[in-house]
Amino acid sequence: GNSVTQMEGPVTLSEEAFLTINCTYTATGYPSLFWYVQYPGEGLQLLLKATKADDKGSNKGFEATYRKETTSFHLEKGSVQVSDSAVYFCALWPGNTGKLIFGQGTTLQVKP
């Protein structure tokens, strides 16, 4: 079946540190991959996406590359800010089935 596994949180970093949040997936076919972000007290919003192998999604300084050979979609940012503190969700859409599959979420806390 299809599944998404993210690294356990919480992740605590100092401002300007480098961020990596690992995400690996299991899927049949060629899914689309997403990162969503949930700021405190808000709903989820799309951060970036990639629809095929080797695509790189990027937004707000965050990047993730769709790696089919390692079935991964790790989220990275070169220099985090306090305002990046949020919960990050990796997700997979197999297409057609209508069900977006989420990882368990990773809480990021950035300290000044």
Q: Return residues touching another protein (CB under 8 A).
A: 32, 34, 36, 38, 42-46, 49, 51, 87, 89, 93, 95, 98-100, 102, 104-105, 107
Cα–Cα dist 47/95, whole Å = 19
Selection from 33, 38, 30, 29 nearest residue 5 by Cα = 33
Closest distance of CB 91 from another protein, Å = 8
- In sequence order, the 6+-apart residues with CB closer than 8 A to the CB of 96 are none
Give 21 or 87: the residue with its C-beta nearer to another protein.
87
Give 28 or 79: the residue with its C-beta nearer to another protein.
28
Give 72 or 105: the residue with its C-beta nearer to another protein.
105
Closest distance of CB 29 from another protein, Å = 13
Closest distance of CB 16 from another protein, Å = 26
Cα–Cα dist 71/44, whole Å = 24
For residue 71, give both structure tokens: 């079935």
In one letter, which amino acid is 17? Answer: A
